[in-house]
Copies of this chain bind each other. A is one copy, B any other.
Amino acid sequence: MGEGDATRFGAEIEKICREHSLPLTSQRRVVLEALSVRPTHPTVDEIWEDVRRTMPDISRTTVYRILETFTRLRVIRKVCHPGTVARYESRTSRHHHLLCLQCGRMEDLDDAALDRLALPGKETGFQIEDYSIQFRGLCSQCVSPSDTGSRKRGSQAIGG
């Protein structure tokens, strides 16, 4: 967790809330903090578990609502994952994803060349803001399941 991301919301969250006329609650602070510290693409429940260590009485509903609020404001993002549970990420700068079709593992991929693609033109009918590339395949552990202690998540018809 580079301090760049870990502290991203530390000072910024006050500005974010002020700009959007949102009350800055302690729940909002810890939820965004927990998301930015997580290196992966956590589910709502994973964030909830993290946050409960600091704030044991926070409700799961509140976590849902906070993530939804900030997603709509484009402060965080819901990641595109073929599983059935929602996953979030705090990075909104351009980057790409590696997805394992076998176990569902998803990792970030940074590649400056891939960040410079020309956007499709107006003929699409869309006003495009951004893009990201999803690379699909098998992660190292699913390619060579040498370690007998196999992955937790079974193969759940992941499609991409």
A interface vs B, CB < 8 Å?
A: 68-69, 71-72, 76-82, 84, 86, 88, 98, 100-101, 107, 109, 111, 113-114, 117-120, 124-140, 143, 155, 157-160
Cβ contact of A114, chosen from B77, B117, B134, cutoff 8 A: B117
Which residues of B lie under 8 Å from residue A78 when comparing CB positions? 82, 157-160
How far, in whole Å, are A86 and B156 apart by their CA atoms in the complex? 13
7 A-B pairs with the lowest CB-CB distances in the bound complex, closest first: A78-B159, A80-B80, A128-B137, A125-B140, A77-B159, A68-B157, A71-B157
Copies of the chain in the assembly: 2
Output the least CB separation between A98 and chain B (Å): 5
Other contacts beyond A72-B155, A80-B80: 7, CB < 8 A: A71-B158, A77-B159, A107-B124, A128-B137, A129-B137, A130-B135, A134-B134
